[in-house]
Amino acid sequence: MGITIEGLGYYTPKHVLSNFDLEKMVDTSDEWITTRTGIKERRIAKEESLLYMSYEASLKALEDAKVQPREIELIVLATLTPDLGFPASACLLQAKLGADRAYAFDISAACSGFLYGLEVVGSILASGGAKKALLVGAERLSQIVDWNDRSTCVLFGDGAGAVVLSSEGEGELLASALRSDGNYWDILYSERCGYIRMKGKELFKLAVRSMAEVCEEVLQKANIRSEDVDLVVPHQANIRIIEALAEKLSIPMDKVYTNIHKYGNTSAASIPIALCEAKQTGRLKRGDIVLLTAMGGGLTWGACLLRF
Ligand code: UT7
């Protein structure tokens, strides 16, 4: 399916919370967090609302694409931490951007939200329902983190990433595979207005196995060998999950983009933030074959293979 990422942008909050700061809050250590997860620090939104972070990321993506807000015909925002119960965060973003020609809605698919969004937006662009779209992944997970629970509070962070997508251009969504299994809902969830609860060990094993399966599926569908992948941009949940996945796929870690040490797990924001950083640091170039994969609450998981 012809779909080009014309521009990318991200925003992460100013406030940095390091592992050493967490040592003063719960019974943990920099050594435990670093070796078990790869995280050194994360960003926490103190002043910034979800709308503010989404807006800042979107402005940068629009600027990168050289696209005006009025050219955008569709806005999709993936989040599990909206500022309001309703309306959709995407509608608030539409108003703030002045993207008055766009229709806008949210996607709730936890850490897989950006991949679900890519499939939905890609299909709408392919069917002629819009020419240019804005896809945003944004989270303010610090709002739903139990800061007394050391098994989860060290893992998560806040931020937003955005991409401008177009039905024109050289880019392609070569293949995608999306999955859900609600039987596993209680492995990772929050009660309404409650805290994140997670069965980490079970999720770890499921994440490696399930992401490897869908990655292999998209490679097969697109008839592309793993050695022909230029860059893997996985959801940043745990460096050990990412390393195990790369090993299963026989893809060396130097072809895998990671920034978990700086931001922790930002759920739906993690892939677009990493994609944008990869582009800005020269790791991602036009024409590259890029493999995206994620797993999160739902359970939801998936993989998308792109020609960038
Ligand atoms: O974004 C959605 C996807 N998310 C994921 O896929 C997350 C998947 N899971 C994980 O990343 C890992 O399971 C964790 C990082 C959450 C935990 O790592 P683990 O190696 O599975 O540790 P564990 O839960 O088995 O805990 C080992 C020990 C326990 O102590 P005992 O029972 O062995 O005495 C925990 O109480 O580590 C203890 N522990 C901690 N110690 C220091 C748990 N959290 C901490 C902590 N600091 N923050």
Condensed to tens digits (0 to 9), the pLDDT of residues 248-282 reads: 999 999 999 999 999 999 999 999 999 999 999 99
Cβ–ligand 1 distance for 154 under 6 Å, the answer yes
The domain boundary, picked from 117, 142, 166, lies at 166
Please report the atom of ligand 1 found closest to the CA of residue 206.
6
- Judge if 157 and 14 occupy the same domain: yes
- Judge if 14 and 117 occupy the same domain: yes
Q: How far is the CA of 226 from the centre of ligand 1 (A)?
A: 30
Instruction: List the CATH number of the domain containing 118.
Output: 3.40.47.10
pLDDT for 183: 97
pLDDT in tens, 37-66: 999 999 999 999 999 999 999 999 999 999
- Judge if 156 and 185 occupy the same domain: no
Q: How far is the CA of 204 from the centre of ligand 1 (A)?
A: 9
- Judge if 112 and 232 occupy the same domain: no
Nearest to 5 by CA among 251, 217, 292, 260: 292
- Judge if 294 and 280 occupy the same domain: yes
**What's 137's DSSP letter?**
E
Give the residue, out of 180, 187, 196, 204, with the most ligand 1 atoms within 8 A of its beta carbon, to mutate for a pocket test. Answer: 204
pLDDT for 90: 98
Tracing tokens 């950006």 back to the chain, one arrives at: 114
pTM score of the predicted model: 0.97
**Which listed residue (19, 91, 153, 235) is catalytic?**
235
**What's 145's DSSP letter?**
-
Q: How far is the CA of 187 from the centre of ligand 1 (A)?
A: 13
Cβ–ligand 1 distance for 238 under 6 Å, the answer yes
In angstroms, the CA 267 to CA 111 distance is 4
In the chain, how many domains are there? Answer: 2
Cβ–ligand 1 distance for 40 under 6 Å, the answer no
Asked if residue 25 has pLDDT above 90, the reply is yes
The domain boundary, picked from 146, 166, 186, lies at 166
Mean pLDDT of the residues in the chain: 97
Residue 111 annotated in active site: yes
The domain boundary, picked from 141, 166, 191, lies at 166
- Judge if 266 and 303 occupy the same domain: yes
pLDDT for 37: 98
| Averaged pLDDT for residues 134-163 | 97
* DSSP letters for 71-104: G--EEEEE-SS-SSSSS-HHHHHHHHHT-TT-EE
Q: Which domain holds residue 294?
A: 172-307
pLDDT for 193: 82
Cβ–ligand 1 distance for 58 under 6 Å, the answer no
pLDDT for 192: 87
Q: Kindly report the protein residue whose alpha carbon is nearest to atom 36 of ligand 1.
A: 151
Q: How far is the CA of 98 from the centre of ligand 1 (A)?
A: 44
pLDDT band at 112 (very low <50, low <70, confident <90, very high): very high
Asked if residue 185 has pLDDT above 90, the reply is yes
Structure token digits, residue 241: 């999950």
Q: Kindly report the protein residue whose alpha carbon is nearest to atom 25 of ligand 1.
A: 201
